[in-house]
Amino acid sequence: MTGPRVAGVGVTEFGRAPERTGRDLFGEAAATAISDAGVDHSDVEAVYYGNFMGELAEHQGHQGPMMAEAAGVQAPATRYESACASSGAAVRQAVHDVRNGEADVLLIGGAERMTNLGTAGATDALAIAADDLWEVGHGMTFPGAYALMARAYFEEFGGSREDLAYIAVKNHANAVENEKAQYQQAISVEDVLDAPMVSAPLGLYDSCPISDGASAAVIVSESYAAEHDLDAEVAITGTGQGGDRLALHDREHLATSAAADDAAAEAYADAGIDVERIDVAEVHDCFTIAEVLAIESLGLYEPGEGIGAARRGETTTDGSVPINLSGGLKAKGHPVGATGVAQIVEVVHLLRGDHINSDAVPDATTGVTHNAGGTVASALVHVLEVQQ
């Protein structure tokens, strides 16, 4: 047994579509994933759906059944909420269910409608992932939280805004050909450094955009894939989840992400791999500094070493382990509830060889996803491998 297979994947365009409802977005992603998988709708046994701010954006709770309906699936459905790691949590549930033999076909995914709230409204909604009493009530925003982490990182390890700018430049370059991406234009280091500040030391181009969008994937058991002769060569071979104190000020270290350290260690052990096996990764770069914390937590870099990786060309398309070939959250966009499964979608395309940037990793057999919630009080890491 090699574990759950990803039989089909789908994403909507990410970007500004304020008039599109969450159910419309998820319906599109689900239809694409189910069609890509070549499974019957009636075979889907459950829907695990990630969403963060549906109550605020659409005045809609109880979204699980609504999204099963949108996907044309008559099956029980549950919504997962772990801030920006919501659909990463849905992936983990699906992996466990298929491994335990409790399900053979699951539809997972996520969606978020955000731009209808406007910038101020979305900023307000995103902030609820932080501690309302002891953080948000005193002026914490999400860019603000990552700005606190960025300065703490500079203080502890060194590095500069210019180092971070190379991450934004890299991720924008990766998205130029990605038709699903919110921003398909290249930017320069100067563009990043000259952009208005959002929360110093982070500026507008250090920050991912506010996005509408959805993602979906069909997860099947190995036996179902064999019986139905599905083309499902990519398996999810490792899952890990880490947790930490909700408020940033309650963490032992402000310049590292311990929850993601734990998630990565668990996922690698689960898959039976070590970090040298990783060919490619999609990580949670909601802000440029977040990509630094991510690649350090994944063990690709020692703490303090990750900040120069993009600048040194090690995480670019021609680097040793390209990071965020999709464009990442920074350029592809970040409809928060959709992001965890969207990362799975990108890695599946990279491992299947049908990604716009597949040429960067032609022989890739192992990829990882890193999905973080809040200021990384929640973290999900998954390992995906090509199985022959």
Bridge partner list, 240: 381
Cβ count within 10 A of residue 62: 10
> Could you say which DSSP state residue 184 is in?
-
Measured from the CB atom, is 107 or 136 closer to other proteins? 136
Query: Minimum Å distance from CB 341 to other proteins?
Result: 28
Angle at 211 between CA 210 and CA 214, to 5 degrees: 150
**DSSP per-residue string spanning 112-125:** E--GGGHHHHHHHH
| Residue 356 identity | I
Which residue lies nearer to other proteins by CB, 45 or 124? 124
Helices (H), 273-335: 288-297, 328-332
**Which is nearer to other proteins, 198 or 271 (by Cβ)?**
198
In the complex, least distance from residue 128 CB atom to other proteins, rounded to whole angstroms: 10
Sheet holding 234-243, edge to edge: 77-80, 46-50, 105-112, 213-220, 5-11, 234-243, 378-386, 366-373, 280-283
Residue 363 has, within 13 A of its CA and on its CB side, a CA count of 3
Look up residue 340 and give its two tokens. 């965890």
181: left (phi over 0), alpha (psi -120 to 50) or beta: beta
Least distance (Å) between residue 147 CB and other proteins: 4
| Catalytic one of 172, 334, 355, 370 | 334
The minimum distance between CB 273 and other proteins, in angstroms, equals 32
47 or 210: CB nearest other proteins: 210
Bridge partners (DSSP) of residue 147 are none
Q: What secondary structure letter does DSSP report for 12?
A: P
Alpha-carbon 124 to chain mean position: 21
Question: Is the dihedral angle over the CA atoms 228, 229, 231, 232 positive or is it negative?
Answer: positive
Q: Given the complex with other proteins, which of 141 and 317 has the nearer CB atom?
A: 141
> Number of C-alpha atoms within 13 angstroms, CB side, residue 291?
34
201 prior amide bond cis, ω within 30:
yes
How near is the Cβ of 151 to other proteins at its closest, in Å? 5
Amino acid at 129: A
The partner residues of 370 in beta bridges, in order of sequence, read 283, 381
Minimum CB separation of residue 196 from other proteins in Å reads 7
382 counts as catalytic: no
Name the residue nearer to other proteins (CB basis): 82 or 207.
Answer: 207
Nearer to other proteins, 62 or 249 (CB): 249
Task: Select 163 or 206, whichever has its Cβ closest to other proteins.
Answer: 206
**Are 125 and 116 within 8 A, CB to CB?**
no
Report, in Å, the least distance between residue 143 CB and other proteins: 7
Is 208 assigned a catalytic role?
A: no
DSSP single-letter state for residue 321: S
- Residue 180: phi and psi, rounded to 5, are -85, -10
- In the complex, the residues that contact other proteins under the rule CB under 8 A are 119-121, 123-124, 127, 133-141, 143-144, 147-149, 151-152, 155, 196-202, 245, 247-250, 254
Give the nearest distance from C-beta 91 to other proteins in angstroms: 27
Question: Which positions are catalytic?
Answer: 84, 334
